[in-house]
Amino acid sequence: MSTHIIQQYTGDYVHQFSASLVNDFSGHYTRFNYQAVEPLTSVDPASLGFNIHPEIAAAANVPTISVGGTNVSFTLGWSTNGPQPRIDQVVQLDDAVSKVLGNHSFKFGYDGRRFNVHNPFGAENSGSFSFGGSAYTTGDGGLDFLLGIPASYGQGSALPSSRRPSSTTSSHRTRGS
C-alpha cells in the first residue's frame, strides 16, 4: 500500500519604490509525506510460528521465503524492501531587486533553499529465508524447503536516513542597449 500527502504554500510580496525600482520577495514551503511498501494489515510473524521480532512492529508481516531449485522456483511472503516512509520538506526564500537607469536595467537577487529528507528504510523487516542450496543443504532448493533447511536467513534493521542539504544563489543581470 502507498499513501502520500503533498502540501505546498507560497507567499509573494512585490513593492514598487519608484517608477524605476521594484522589489519582489517570496517564500515557499513544500512537504511531501510518502508511505511506501506498507502492509494493509500487520501480521506478527510469531503468530505464524516464526521466532522473528520485526524492529518496525507496525509494518510486521509474513517473512519472505524464496525457493530456487532445479524444477521449482517461487517466492512466498511479503516484500523484503519495506517499509519505506519518506518525508521531504523544502523551505525557499527569494528576493530580487530590479532597477532601471536610462536604457539599462539591473536585477540583483537571492535564492535560498533548505531541503530536509527523512527516509528510514526497513529492509527485511520481517525476515527473509532463502532455499536454494548451499554447502549445508541437500543442494536442491525445493527439497530443502520441504525439509525446512534454509540456505540463508536475513533480517534487517530500520536504517535512519536524514539529510539536510541547503543551497543559496546570488545573481545579478544587466541589460542595456
The predicted model gives 84-109 an average pLDDT of 91
Tell the residue number behind the cell numbers 509573494, with chain if given.
12
> Which domain range does residue 90 map to?
3-176
In terms of phi and psi (left: phi > 0; alpha: psi -120 to 50; beta: otherwise), the region of 17 is: alpha
Q: Is the pLDDT of residue 177 over 60?
A: no
Provide the sign of the torsion angle of the four alpha carbons 136, 142, 148, 151, taken in this order: positive
Q: Which residues contact 2 (CB under 8 A, 6 or more apart)?
A: 34, 35, 36, 37, 38
Q: Which residues contact 148 (CB under 8 A, 6 or more apart)?
A: none
Write out pLDDT tens, residues 6-29: 999 999 999 999 999 999 999 999
The reply to whether the predicted model has a pTM over 0.85 is: no
Structural element, H or E, at residue 147: helix 141-147
Domain count, the chain: 1
User: Angle at the Cα of 80 (from 76 to 82), degrees rounded to 5?
Assistant: 125
What rounded mean pLDDT belongs to the chain? 85
More confident site: 136 or 167: 136
Q: Which of 58, 89, 65 is nearest to 158 (CA)?
A: 58
Grid coordinates belonging to 41: 494489515
Q: Are the C-beta atoms of 145 and 70 separated by less than 8 Å?
A: no
Residue 11, pLDDT score: 98
Residue 171, pLDDT score: 64
